[in-house]
Structure formats: structure tokens, C-alpha cells
């Protein structure tokens, strides 16, 4: 699948827009689906998205539409880039239109609220054929990918054939893609790192230094490792691009909406106010609740996730949540991870 005729990208946020541009190098035509008809018309007319990556000019072979049938007609690959809260309903709307043999690439990161399902599972529930559904994750800020700056990602899928095919479609001189069959590990990494980034942003907002950020990120990586291990994922996955790579980028970059929201949270801004002001979705805020539920179900301690959830959902003051974290008695550094590995021996 080093080149295809037509690709459909469902979702016109920052990552969907950047991915449409990236895929245009190997596809004859890329159709970007926008929920808003006016936005679709503007993107087609100007080749720019006035809401996201506003200075980025899309290649000439990228067209936008708000018509679902037109978006996926003749598509040889479908890319899902809807926010996690709307992924299931979006897939359900497209289900009658997507052929059963078309590979589906999922860009959305998170754990579904209520069901505890990973994004690949949500898509497979609605579109069918989990073996043809893949997840893409890694340290990939759309703002840099669209400019052709060197980036790398990991593509996880049950089917090696589908994974290799999609890899061929995505790889460019500036975008490296590695394949994996650890779908669960890659997805858990993508969900939990967003929560940790909110904690890092809040710490920065209160004047924390580099040492503090290093502590939060390292303990966050351990949190990712414990949840991944409990769900049977490959213990090496959190050490790679989907885990450590994406965690570092999301927790340190000015492009990260999760870290930026954490900083705003420290200033007293609410989630609703931040999303209305920035016209973005803070995936980590949704993941805090769903990851916490998943962790409790599997008996896993996730103190950073618990603290972020308490601030966002239980009215706990950010400083009080920080004090609770710092007041925890340190345990063994890799508790909960080594135990899981011993259980497999």
C-alpha cells in the first residue's frame, strides 16, 4: 500500500488536517470530512483550515466535504480523527458507508467513558473487523508534522499485513513509522500520557522547576507501565515512541493542549472556559475519568491520574491535590509492574 487512489480522513481538527496533508504524498486524492458544511467549503476553496493550523496550506489533491457518503466513496483507507467523546457516534454514522475490507487507521487517543474500551475497540464495535483497525501514536504534534519536521510514530494492529500496508502509505522522509502488534499497550500509552501532561502543566503554572517536571513524567511513565501491565500489554511498549516519546513531547511542548490546559487550570480557568477559548478538546480531561475507572477495575494504583480526576471532577483544589501526591509515602520504584511480570512466569 505504498500508494493508493483515495483516502478519507474523518475529522478536521489539527491532527486530521495535518494527516490529510501527510497522506497526500502517497494518495492520488485525500478527502477531509468536516462536520460543518461551511468549514468544508472554506477548506476546499482556500486549502486552509480557518480553525486549526490556520497558516498551513493543504496540498492541491486534498478536498473537504461535509457529506458522509461523498467522503468515503471509493476510499481505499479510512482515517478516524474524531475526538474520543464523539468517536463512537461518528463511526456509527459512517458504518453503513465503509466497506468491510477497507483498512481503518485510528488517530484518536483515549479510553471511552463508561465502557472502558480503547479507541480501536470502539471503532471495531461500530465498523466491524478489529483485525483491519490500526492505531497510530507517538510524539507527533500536528503543528510540526504539517511543516515537514522530522517525526516518528508507532502503528499498532493485530494484522501484520494491514500494519505494513498502512506503514507504506504513511512513511515519508520526515515521518518515520514503526509497526507493532501491541495495540493495547500503544493505546494505553496514548491515553494516560495526556493526563500526566495536565499535571505537568499545572505544576508549571505554580512555578515548578525542571526537577519537578522530571519527577512527574517519570512517575507518570511508571503509571502508564502499571496500567499496561495489568491489561497484558508488552512491557517494552511504554519505553518506546507511544510511551516515553509521546509523554515527553506532550508534557514539555508549547503545542500540547493538555499541558497548556494544566497551566490554565493553575490560573483558575475551568475546562469549559479553556475549550471555548481555544476551540480544542482536552483529551486528558476525559481520559482522567475513564483511565481511573479502568485502573480501579484492575486494582492498579494511579496517583497522578487520581489527583487530576479529583481536581476536574470532585472540586479538589489543585494545590490540595498536589499536597496529597507529595504526601504519599514512596514505595518501590517499579511497584505494580514487576509484580505483574512475575505473575506471568
- Which of 177, 187, 167 has its CA nearest to residue 145? 177
Starting at the edge strand found earlier in the chain, the sheet holding 104-106 runs 62-65, 27-33, 4-10, 77-80, 104-106, 133-137, 151-157, 175-180
Cα(94)–Cα(86) distance, integer angstroms: 12
Give CA–CA dist 142/9, Å, rounded.
Answer: 14
Whether 109 is catalytic is no
Rounded distance, CA 325 to CA 66, Å?
A: 46
Cα dihedral across residues 210, 215, 216, 218: positive or negative: positive
Question: Catalytic pick from 48, 149, 193, 342?
Answer: 193
Q: Whose CA is closest to 263, among 181, 178, 201?
A: 201
| Residue among 88, 132, 139, 79 at smallest CA distance from 106 | 79
Three cell numbers at 104?
A: 481503518
CA separation for the pair 316, 202 (Å, rounded): 13
Rg (CA), the chain: 19
| Residue 152 grid cell | 516518528
Q: Identify which of 259, 211, 220 has the alpha carbon closest to the alpha carbon of residue 238.
A: 220
- What are the catalytic residues? 193
Amino acid at each position: 500500500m505504498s500508494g493508493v487512489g483515495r483516502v478519507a480522513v474523518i475529522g478536521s481538527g489539527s491532527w486530521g488536517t495535518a494527516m490529510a496533508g501527510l497522506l497526500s504524498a502517497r494518495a492520488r486524492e485525500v478527502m477531509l470530512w468536516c462536520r460543518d458544511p461551511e468549514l468544508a467549503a472554506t477548506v476546499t476553496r482556500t486549502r486552509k483550515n480557518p480553525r486549526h493550523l490556520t497558516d498551513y496550506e493543504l496540498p492541491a489533491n486534498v478536498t473537504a466535504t461535509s457529506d458522509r457518503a461523498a467522503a468515503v466513496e471509493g476510499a481505499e483507507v479510512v482515517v478516524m480523527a474524531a475526538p474520543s467523546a464523539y468517536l463512537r457516534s461518528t463511526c456509527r454514522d459512517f458504518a453503513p458507508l465503509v466497506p468491510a475490507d477497507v483498512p481503518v487507521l485510528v488517530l484518536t487517543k483515549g479510553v471511552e467513558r463508561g465502557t472502558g474500551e480503547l479507541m480501536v475497540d470502539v471503532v471495531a464495535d461500530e465498523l466491524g473487523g478489529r483485525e483491519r483497525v490500526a492505531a497510530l501514536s507517538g510524539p507527533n504534534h500536528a503543528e510540526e508534522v504539517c511543516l515537514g519536521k522530522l517525526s516518528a510514530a508507532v502503528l499498532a494492529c493485530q494484522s501484520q499485513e494491514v500494519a505494513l500496508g498502512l506503514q507504506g502509505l504513511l512513511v515519508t522522509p520526515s515521518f518515520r513509522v514503526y509497526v507493532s502488534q501491541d495495540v493495547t499497550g500503544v493505546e494505553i500509552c496514548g491515553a494516560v500520557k495526556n493526563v500526566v501532561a495536565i499535571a505537568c502543566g499545572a505544576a508549571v503554572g505554580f512555578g515548578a522547576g525542571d526537577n519537578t517536571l522530571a519527577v512527574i513524567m517519570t512517575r507518570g511513565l511508571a503509571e502508564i507501565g502499571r496500567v499496561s501491565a495489568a491489561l497484558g500489554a508488552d512491557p517494552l511498549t511504554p519505553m518506546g515512541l507511544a510511551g516515553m516519546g509521546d509523554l515527553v513531547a506532550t508534557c514539555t511542548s508549547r503545542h500540547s493542549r493538555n499541558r497548556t490546559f494544566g497551566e490554565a487550570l493553575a490560573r483558575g480557568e475551568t475546562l469549559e472556559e479553556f475549550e471555548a477559548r481555544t476551540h480544542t478538546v482536552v483529551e486528558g480531561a476525559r481520559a482522567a475519568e475513564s483511565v481511573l475507572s479502568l485502573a480501579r477495575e484492575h486494582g492498579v494504583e494511579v496517583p497522578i491520574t487520581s489527583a487530576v480526576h479529583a481536581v476536574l471532577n470532585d472540586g479538589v483544589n489543585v494545590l490540595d491535590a498536589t499536597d496529597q501526591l507529595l504526601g504519599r509515602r514512596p514505595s518501590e520504584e517499579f511497584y505494580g509492574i514487576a509484580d505483574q511480570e512475575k505473575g506471568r512466569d
